[in-house]
């Protein structure tokens, strides 16, 4: 597997330098990508098998009206079928040959981490500063994979097609410091709400939202709010009391979770895997989806684990960029990503 290195091109007094980065540098104000030196730029990423193999990562200059297909063509040789469907990128396309024929696979693209189902790549206009992530993956295991953690802190900043919602950080017992670190270091300019989940309302301090018209304004300490982009930190035994989260956790394929819990066991099934496998050293995980499995649904980023150490380690891995280009991320108690 290619190394997921993180390099950013920075302009300093007219000089270009390469610098290492953390997660806070993945997303900048778009005007930062419109300098006289660099012009209007976007990132283009090519992977296969749900991000398991990194093929290409390049910053490209944008021309007015450039689409997701245009920026792909700027970094790769793209072959189309007569109806305009992408057949091959750099000679790769379709699935591997098996006993009963080729696997069902195709090229999908993500805009800032959200899979663009239903939007043709030649119709999607790329904005300066965006990350357009193209992935060749099977679609018979997962019909859709709505959100990836690999472009964090996107899509929490921008949302689906720039329909951003206020960021809300909710945390379980003993994880206030982690929540405040994300607020102060990564989401500082958004000034997100930071809310504890150990209040007196609901069940064990976590309550579902009301069905009334004013549900979005409720002050109950819930884990997921539909009018927010949600970042949630805590032990799974506590977070799963929220009805939105337990729904996602019980049906990982529908919601596009490639890593999930079964009891106290962490399991993984990437798009190219016929069966799931147990990750015996995993104590913390990071996954993301939406509450309805659709790209325009309520965003939910979850940092969780089966031990306190695992949750802290998963938080460190996410903010350091160790989960870059992963659909979901599992770590051991020392924060090492389990590949």
Contacts (Cβ under 8 Å, ≥6 apart) of 221:
170, 195, 196, 197, 198, 199, 201, 202, 205, 206, 207
Q: Calculate ∠ Cα 224-229-233, nearest 5°.
A: 55
Q: What average pLDDT does this structure show over 54-70?
A: 95
pLDDT band at 162 (very low <50, low <70, confident <90, very high): confident
Provide the mean pLDDT of the chain: 83
Average pLDDT over residues 247-272: 93
Task: Summarize pLDDT for 304-317 with one digit per residue, the tens.
Answer: 999 999 999 999 99
**The pLDDT of residue 151 is above 80:** yes
According to the model, what pLDDT value does residue 327 have?
A: 96
Residue 179 is predicted with a pLDDT of 97
Give the burial class of 320: count Cβ atoms within 10 A of its Cβ; 0-12 exposed, 13-18 middle, 19 or more buried.
middle
**End-to-end CA separation in angstroms for the chain:** 9
Q: What is the pTM of this model?
A: 0.83
pLDDT for residue 1: 46
The domain spans of the chain are 42-138, 167-331
SS (H, E, C) 239-261: HCCCHHHHHHHHCHHHHCCCEEE
Q: How many CB atoms lie within 10 A of CB 64?
A: 6
- Helix, strand, or coil (residue 34): strand
Three-class SS state of 269: coil
Query: Looking at 209-218, 222-231, 245-254, which range is the least confident one?
Result: 209-218
Please tell me the predicted confidence (pLDDT) of residue 98.
54
- Report whether pLDDT(299) > 80: yes
CATH of 167-331, one of 2.120.10, 1.10.3470, 3.30.379, 1.10.1760: 3.30.379
Whole-number pLDDT of residue 111: 96
- Residues 133-148, mean pLDDT to the nearest whole number: 92
Instruction: For domain 42-138, give the CATH number.
Output: 2.170.130.30
Q: Do 42-138 and 167-331 come out as alike in CATH topology?
A: no
DSSP 103-143: --EEEEEEETTEE-TTS-TTT-BPPTT-EEEEEEEESSS-S
Average pLDDT of the residues in 138-147? 90
Q: What is the pLDDT of residue 94?
A: 75
- Percentage of the residues of the chain whose pLDDT score is greater than 90: 62
In this prediction, what percent of the chain has a pLDDT beyond 70? 79
pLDDT for 161: 80
């Amino acid at each position: 597997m290619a190394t997921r290195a993180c390099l950013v091109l920075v302009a300093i007094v007219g000089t270009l330098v390469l610098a290492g980065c953390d997660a806070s540098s993945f997303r900048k104000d778009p005007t930062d990508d419109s300098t006289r030196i660099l012009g209007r730029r976007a990132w283009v990423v090519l992977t296969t098998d749900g991000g398991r193999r990194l093929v290409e990562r390049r910053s490209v200059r944008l021309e007015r009206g450039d689409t997701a297909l245009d920026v792909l063509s700027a970094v790769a040789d793209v072959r189309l079928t007569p109806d305009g469907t992408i057949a091959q990128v750099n000679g790769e396309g379709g699935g591997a040959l098996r006993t009963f024929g080729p696997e069902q696979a195709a090229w999908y693209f993500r805009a800032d981490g959200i899979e663009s189902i239903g939007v043709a790549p030649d119709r999607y206009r790329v904005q300066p500063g965006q990350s357009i992530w193209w992935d060749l993956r099977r679609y018979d295991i997962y019909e859709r994979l709505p959100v990836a953690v690999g472009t964090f802190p996107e899509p929490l900043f921008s949302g689906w097609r720039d329909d951003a919602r206020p960021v809300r950080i909710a945390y379980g017992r003993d994880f206030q410091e982690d929540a405040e670190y994300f607020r102060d270091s990564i989401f500082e300019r958004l000034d997100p709400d930071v809310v504890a989940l150990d209040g007196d309302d609901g069940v064990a301090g976590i309550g579902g939202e009301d069905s009334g018209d004013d549900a979005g304004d409720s002050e109950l300490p819930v884990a997921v709010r539909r009018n927010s982009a949600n970042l949630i930190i805590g032990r799974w035994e506590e977070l799963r009391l929220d009805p939105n989260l337990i729904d996602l956790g019980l049906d990982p394929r529908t919601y596009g979770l490639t890593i999930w819990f079964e009891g106290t066991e962490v399991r993984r099934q990437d798009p190219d895997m016929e069966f799931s496998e147990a990750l015996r050293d995993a104590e913390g995980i990071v996954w993301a989806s939406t509450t309805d499995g659709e790209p325009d649904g309520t965003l939910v980023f979850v940092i969780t684990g089966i031990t306190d150490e695992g949750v802290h380690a998963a938080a460190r891995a996410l903010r350091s960029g160790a989960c870059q280009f992963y659909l979901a991320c599992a770590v051991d108690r020392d924060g090492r990503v389990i590949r």
